Amino acid sequence: MIALVSMASPSWGALSGGRLDPQALLAATMLLRDATDVTLLAHINPDADALGSALALGQVLRRRGATVRVSFGWPRVAPSALAALDTDGLLVTADEVPATPATLVVMDTGSVERLGPLGDRVAATIEAGGQVLVIDHHATNTYFGTHNLVDATAEATAVLALRLIDELGEVLTEPVARCLYAGLLTDTGAFRRATPSTHLIAARLVEAGVDTQAVSRELMDSHPFGWLGMLAKVLDGAVLEPAGARGLGWVWTTVSREQARGLGIEEIDSVIDLVRTTREAEVAAVLKEIEPGEWAVSLRAVARVDVGSVALGLGGGGHRLAAGFTAVGEPEDIIPRLRAALDAAPLLR
């Protein structure tokens, strides 16, 4: 039974099940309460949860008087739909990130490697006596900060960012709520993987003024015309292996740099959402060429195969039903390794 809660002053026991370590939450709150210069980093190729959470928390910290910057290691600029969330001008390029940030906050990132070229800032900050706060909801998180606020049961990192904003006693403004809603919307698959608490949190964000239709269209239902041509070629090359993935079936395809020419990261990343609709496949995989001979691999499962474990074994990470990794070589080298990993993957109950 779900307790009724006030949207203006939520009971987090009702909203989150109270799974956050209270000591970790207190330490994170105290760190941010006293911070005067904060750098927030999202993982490479940031999604709406990573960048939205960082921008939301960054806006609040700037309002509290701190100097704030938000960045990520790759690509050089954020996708247009995500850049639009930056109403305070907090985004800076990777080159502008200090070598040793005074206070470093890493959002939605399970390991240092996921920060790409900005990964060295973690060790440099710690060696210089600074603090590194990791805020994440991935079960594969390696707890690489001096402070770690990690809850694998949270629907999105945006949920943890909201919790911190509440703990800081800050008002939830519309721009902040919009950033958080973007993360919640995308990481729950447009609320397809929502829990009762997801909808309670979303209600707070909508009450703060978020235009849900506008956010949804910008992030999930809007693409340039060239996306259709790319999609036609990529889907035409899709391969279904009904006997793979422990006999549950899997489908895969590739997106080459040539096929993706002129398109943004968000268009390329959207391919997995179509491939995963294949009825005969428990697992979907999309190999996206980042640089010649270097591929980012997205994995999705319906319900049975733990693709998080598969990705972890291949050098990546993520959730049980949504994960990824990077690989060097060509698809004909990568696919056999992935096929073998899926055939040995743990099954979920």
Q: Which class for 93: exposed (0-12), middle (13-18), buried (19 or more C-beta within 10 A)? A: exposed
Residue 348 domain-assigned (yes or no): no
Q: Which domain holds residue 333?
A: 226-343
Residue 101 domain-assigned (yes or no): yes
Residue 92 domain-assigned (yes or no): yes
Instruction: Say what the pLDDT of residue 174 is.
Output: 98
SS3 152: coil
* For the chain, percent of residues with pLDDT exceeding 70: 95
- Say whether both 106 and 254 belong to one domain: no
Q: Among the three residues 186, 220, 254, which one is the final residue of a domain in this structure?
A: 220
Q: What is the CATH number of the domain that holds 286?
A: 3.10.310.30
| 200-219 residue pLDDT tens | 999 999 999 999 999 999 99
- Measuring CA to CA, how many Å separate 288 from each of 172, 202, 252, 267? 37, 32, 11, 11
Instruction: Say what the pLDDT of residue 265 is.
Output: 87
| 253-298 residue pLDDT tens | 999 999 999 998 889 999 999 999 999 999 999 999 999 999 999 9
Total residues belonging to the chain: 349
Encode 167-203: b = buried (16+ Cβ within 10 Å), e = exposed.
bbebebbebbbbbbbbbbbbbbeeeeebbebbebbbe
Residues with Cβ within 8 Å of residue 150, at least 6 apart in sequence: 24, 134, 135, 136, 137, 138, 141, 143
- Say whether both 55 and 203 belong to one domain: yes
* For the chain, percent of residues with pLDDT exceeding 90: 90
Residue 151 domain-assigned (yes or no): yes
Q: Among the three residues 220, 248, 280, which one is the final residue of a domain in this structure?
A: 220
Q: Among the three residues 220, 237, 258, which one is the final residue of a domain in this structure?
A: 220
Tally of domains in the chain: 2
Global pTM reads 0.87
Q: What is the CATH number of the domain that holds 155?
A: 3.90.1640.10
Helix crossing, 212-220 with 174-187: angle to 10°?
50
Instruction: Say what the pLDDT of residue 184 is.
Output: 98
Residue 107 domain-assigned (yes or no): yes
Residue 231 has pLDDT above 50, yes or no: yes
Residue 9 has pLDDT above 80, yes or no: no
